Amino acid sequence: MAVADHGGFAAGARANRMSPPAMTRAIAALEAHLGVALFHRSTRAVSLTEEGTAFLSRARAILAELRDAELVAMGAQDTPQGTLIVTAPVAFGQRHVVPVTNALLAAHPRLSVRLLLIDRNVRIVEEGIDVAVRIGPLADSSLIARTIGAVTRIAVASPAYLAEHGTPAGPHELRNHALIGVTAVNPATEWRFGAKREMAVAIRPRMLVNTNDAAIHAAEAGIGIAYQLSYQVDDAIAGGRLFPLLADFCVTAIPVHLVFGASRAGTPAVRAFADAMQARAAEVLGAR
């Protein structure tokens, strides 16, 4: 698991506080025991084989169940302790999840947290995640979901840009402006507005980036108009670096959920995290 998660034997060894040769020998011994190669090895990279991918998925689930059994044996049915593994989108995690986990760690000395901030949907069960923050509609699954709030998508631009180019009165006027697109989140060809996202506006970005932070920085620098989630630009709006646009058209509520497997729902650490996130969302997200 460590080699797969960290992308190499040396990095996996450091994460497990082992020497690289010891880690290499341990993987070789496991492969000899199983009779299959778990990793493709080259001078540049290490990647899972098909057999390794299947074995890793089952191993994560087994170790997660073992961790649950250990927590019960340690008396963790009442007090958050052990390791809580959480995943969330990068910007949301930095702004809202980190303060919650910091408070939990201060309140529960026997609790530790592993926080994975990444802008993709992690496979919760297969990757041993206790709870995930998901923004947007959820696909049907056997996972348990708890709605904690909602956000909206907001068009923003810097005061300097608006002073030079004017303020669009409606979404279709965006074709007359320089736009900043994000390939990782929005389709590069259109933005959608309206209560039911019924208004599609074709866009031709002047600048196209792959991270939200880059788009926000470009908007602050006066490059053009960006279309971001509300929590991503709240600080910039409050600080006067960006100005919200088209407020009457940016009204779609995008739900924020906590998602976890049924076996994790009742653990004290997950309950404590979920309750704390619910309280923070009520305070800072409201019904947006």
Q: Kindly state whether residues 230 and 157 are assigned to the same domain.
A: yes
> 36-45, 63-72, 209-218, 273-282: which range is least confident on average?
63-72
Q: What is the pLDDT of residues 11-38, one digit of tens each?
A: 889 888 889 999 999 999 999 999 999 9
Range of the domain at 187: 153-245
Q: Is pLDDT of 145 > 80?
A: yes
Q: Kindly state whether residues 141 and 157 are assigned to the same domain.
A: no
Instruction: Return mean pLDDT, the chain.
Output: 87
Q: What is the pLDDT of residues 88-136, one digit of tens each?
A: 998 899 989 999 999 999 999 989 999 999 877 777 776 778 899 998 8
For 196-254, the DSSP string reads TS-EEEE---SEEESSHHHHHHHHHTTS-EEEEEHHHHHHHHHTTSSEEE-TTT----E
The reply to whether 39 falls in a domain is: yes
* CATH at residue 140: 3.40.190.10
Q: Percent of the chain beyond pLDDT 90?
A: 46
Q: Kindly state whether residues 70 and 138 are assigned to the same domain.
A: yes
Bigger pLDDT: 29 vs 266: 29
- Check if the beta carbon of residue 250 is closer than 8 Å to that of residue 225: no
The reply to whether 55 falls in a domain is: no
Confidence of residue 287 (pLDDT cuts 50, 70, 90): very low
| The pLDDT of residue 74 | 62
Q: Kindly state whether residues 139 and 267 are assigned to the same domain.
A: yes
- Residues 263 and 130: their CA atoms lie apart, in Å, by 9
The reply to whether 54 falls in a domain is: no
Q: Kindly state whether residues 232 and 184 are assigned to the same domain.
A: yes
In terms of average pLDDT, the best of 128-142, 173-187, 219-233 is 219-233
* CATH at residue 43: 1.10.10.10
Query: How many structural domains is the chain composed of?
Result: 3
Can you tell me the mean pLDDT for 67-73?
69
> 6-20, 65-79, 186-200: which range is least confident on average?
65-79
Q: Kindly state whether residues 180 and 99 are assigned to the same domain.
A: no
Can you tell me the mean pLDDT for 280-285?
82
- Check if the beta carbon of residue 257 is closer than 8 Å to that of residue 145: yes
Q: Kindly state whether residues 33 and 160 are assigned to the same domain.
A: no
- Check if the beta carbon of residue 19 is closer than 8 Å to that of residue 12: no
Q: Kindly state whether residues 109 and 77 are assigned to the same domain.
A: yes
The reply to whether 196 falls in a domain is: yes
- Residues 49 and 53: their CA atoms lie apart, in Å, by 6
Can you tell me the mean pLDDT for 131-151?
84
At 163 the three-state DSSP class reads helix
Q: Kindly state whether residues 137 and 266 are assigned to the same domain.
A: yes
**pTM for the predicted model, two decimal places:** 0.66
Q: Kindly state whether residues 266 and 189 are assigned to the same domain.
A: no
Confidence of residue 282 (pLDDT cuts 50, 70, 90): confident
The reply to whether 53 falls in a domain is: no
Residue 155 has φ and ψ, to the nearest 5°, of -85, 135
Can you tell me the mean pLDDT for 257-286?
84
Beta bridge partners of 82: 111
Q: Kindly state whether residues 141 and 278 are assigned to the same domain.
A: yes
The reply to whether 241 falls in a domain is: yes
The reply to whether 25 falls in a domain is: yes
| The pLDDT of residue 249 | 87
Bigger pLDDT: 70 vs 245: 245
Confidence of residue 288 (pLDDT cuts 50, 70, 90): very low
Can you tell me the mean pLDDT for 43-72?
83
Q: Kindly state whether residues 67 and 112 are assigned to the same domain.
A: yes
For residue 209, the number of C-alpha atoms closer than 13 Å in the C-beta half-sphere is 18
At 184 the three-state DSSP class reads coil
The reply to whether 230 falls in a domain is: yes
